[in-house]
Structure 1
Amino acid sequence: MARGGQALARVAVAVRAGAAPLWWSGILGAGVGALVPGLTGRRIGLLAGAALFLVAAAVAALTRRGRYVRLADAAGRAARADVLQDRAVTVRVWRRARRWWLLLAFAVAVGSSFLVPGAVGLLVAGLGAGLWLKASWLGRREGAGDLLLWVPVDRLGAGGPAGPRVTAYRTTGIAAGDAAPGGARRR
């Protein structure tokens, strides 16, 4: 990048990128589980899945909140030379880098339906719902501060936008970028 600029991706978009594929993989896996009686029976499998859904959603939504808050509080202003990455590009890069994990999650959800119908599918769907809740929480935080949080693209890795490689966020005004607070498409 010329003159020291960096490519920046929205934090909420990076968090929200995994929500839809995990949700739909889990729902489809649980749907297959509802069709197969399985080893434990449908009722036990789906009740266990409902409990796993709630636990997974809570864990995914609450994990690393303190780190997000610390990084957001210490965030500096983005430079003029910084390039803001489009929402669609961030989502596509995130999903492409993790496509085999998403396919594996779906395969495990479907395969486990023959043992405990729907349980693992609802667990995966709970992870997707938890990521969506975390992105919504980030959006409310962004809206309250009238700023958007950005992370350097080269720092995004296996740990995500709050991983160990991320040392600081950058901020811009609320009108920057093509995504609304929380990572949703801007209308």
Structure 2
Amino acid sequence: MVRGAYTLARVAVTVRVAAGWLWWLGVVAAVPGTAVTFSPTGRRIGVTAGAALFVVAAAVSFLVRRGRHAERAKGASRAAKSVFLQDRKVTARAWVRRRRWWLLVVFVLAVASNAVLPCAAGMLLGGVGAGLWLRSRGVARIERSRDALLWVRPDGNPALYQLTGIAAGDAAPGGGRRRR
């Protein structure tokens, strides 16, 4: 255990933020593909391929390493009283700030791919976002079953989860806004 004060971020919030950003970037990247009038494959094939990619990407991003959160939750320790719990907005802002260039590159590639296969790459991004949103619902289920929230050090080892009570922080189980 680390001595002194340190910061913890919610696991579910980081998964949910990734889901939201990838979903909306995918939607925005797919919309110009509907306006493409000529491409080597055609609009109908692009949209059909995009729908298949959406389903496959959602399933893969939900199922791959799905049990990782449950395994890490079993080995989680109680958070010390000296920790600082990050707000949802701070965690989201930090996640986006660390990955903004990757998000920009993926978005530009998805928009550019509309010239070859309309809508497909945008729908692929949206599928990954949908799968991650489903994964955040799985984390919420784990948190409710343990009656504790899962936290991780943003600057430390992401495999070391820590627990707090269900009322800690400003996010509900699953990373959404807490209803008042």
- TM-score, length of structure 1 as denominator length: 0.90
Structure 2 partner of 1:160: none
SS in structure 1 at match of 2:155 = helix
SS in structure 1 at match of 2:67 = helix
Structure 1 partner of 2:57: 56
Letter in 2 for 1:152: R
Structure 1 partner of 2:98: 97
Letter in 1 for 2:149: L
SS in structure 1 at match of 2:176 = coil
Structure 2 partner of 1:40: 41
Residue 47 of structure 1 and its aligned partner are, at CA, apart by 0.5
Question: Which whole-Å CA distance do the structure 1 matches of 2:93 and 2:45 have between them?
Answer: 37
Structure 1 partner of 2:86: 85
- TM-score, length of structure 2 as denominator length: 0.94
Pair 1:179 & 2:161 matched: no
Please identify runs of 4+ aligned residues in structure 1 that moved more than 4 A. Answer: none
Structure 2 partner of 1:107: 108
The aligned runs of 1:1-187 (5 Å cut-off) are 4-37=4-37, 38-155=39-156, 165-187=157-179
Residue 3 of structure 1 and its aligned partner are, at CA, apart by 5.3
Provide structure 2 residue ranges, at least 5 long, that are not aligned to the other structure.
Answer: none
The share of aligned pairs that are identical, in percent, is 56
SS in structure 2 at match of 1:150 = strand
Provide structure 1 residue ranges, at least 5 long, that are not aligned to the other structure.
Answer: 156-164
The root-mean-square deviation of aligned C-alpha atoms, in Å, is 1.4
Residue 166 of structure 1 and its aligned partner are, at CA, apart by 2.6
Question: Which whole-Å CA distance do the structure 2 matches of 1:29 and 1:167 have between them?
Answer: 33
Letter in 2 for 1:180: A
Residue 4 of structure 1 and its aligned partner are, at CA, apart by 1.7
Q: Deviations over 1:63-92 (max 9, x none)?
A: 222222111011111110111111110000
